[in-house]
Amino acid sequence: MAGLAESGSNPDVELLYDINGLAKDAPHWFDRVMEYVGEYGVLLGLVLAVLWCWWTVRRRGAEDAASSVAALVWAPLAAGIAVLVNVPIRGFVERPRPFNDHQGLEVLVSGKTDYSFVSDHATIAMALGVALFVANRKFGLVGIGLALLEGFCRVYMGVHYPTDVVGGFALGTAVALLLSPLAMALLTPLMSAIERSPRAGRLIRARGTAGDDGGRAVLRGSRKDGSGAEERDLAA
């Protein structure tokens, strides 16, 4: 398995050289940008997308807020589980990094000594993107787009084969989708319980939204007070 991509005639290797060759022709500053985006930027963008989606769900305060927030909580959990699943996969395949077997690559990040298949970055990015898509289609499309960018960056940087990225996409998608029903069954009741809490409930619904229990309680109290006042006036 270690020699999975040692042949220079392998389309996987050819595509690696084609994409990584762009780094040789690009300005130095652009390579530095791609290095940051591929190593940190995309993942940070995905985390911000999840938080933005949560803020939107919270402010809207719809009836399904608890289940929507549960789906968003599942996104980072799915990414974490996918990375854990990847640990034995990497140990079984034992595929060296492409720069260890192929000369002439423009490697933008040094210090990568672990195995190449499957890409952790691609796995995390796609797990977040797909889980976000389950929670919200619009934000999910943005998340999946960022995940695809992450995969391109990893090959551009010379630290992964294209099939490392494809494998990461497949693993992240599988974990996010296949375990989603179980995760929602466990997380939705928990989010519903938090929603009913006077203080922690604000994590699910913003105060004053249509479904906020506190707002309904105040409204009911006002109606009771008004009704009681009317009865007193009639008695007088």
Does residue 236 belong to any structural domain of this protein? Answer: no
Is position 232 within any domain?
no
pLDDT digits (tens, 9 = 90+) for 82-99: 999 999 999 998 899 998
Q: Three-class SS of residue 1?
A: coil
Instruction: Reply yes or no on whether the pLDDT at 189 is more than 80.
Output: yes
pLDDT (tens digit, 9 = 90+) per residue, 102-153?
Answer: 888 888 988 788 899 999 999 999 999 999 999 999 999 999 999 999 999 9
CATH no. for residue 182? 1.20.144.10
Expressed as residue numbers, the domain containing 63 is 11-205
Instruction: With CA atoms as reference, report the closest residue to 202 among 188, 212, 210.
Output: 212
At 30 the three-state DSSP class reads helix
Domain count, the chain: 1
Determine, yes or no, domain membership for 154.
yes
Q: Is residue 30 part of a domain?
A: yes
Asked whether residue 228 is domain-assigned, the answer is no
Model-level pTM? 0.81
Token readout for 2 is 């270690």
- Answer whether residue 219 is part of any domain: no
Span 195-209, pLDDT tens digits: 888 777 787 877 655
231 located within any domain? no
CA-nearest of 40, 71, 65 to 140 is 71
In a domain, 227, yes or no: no
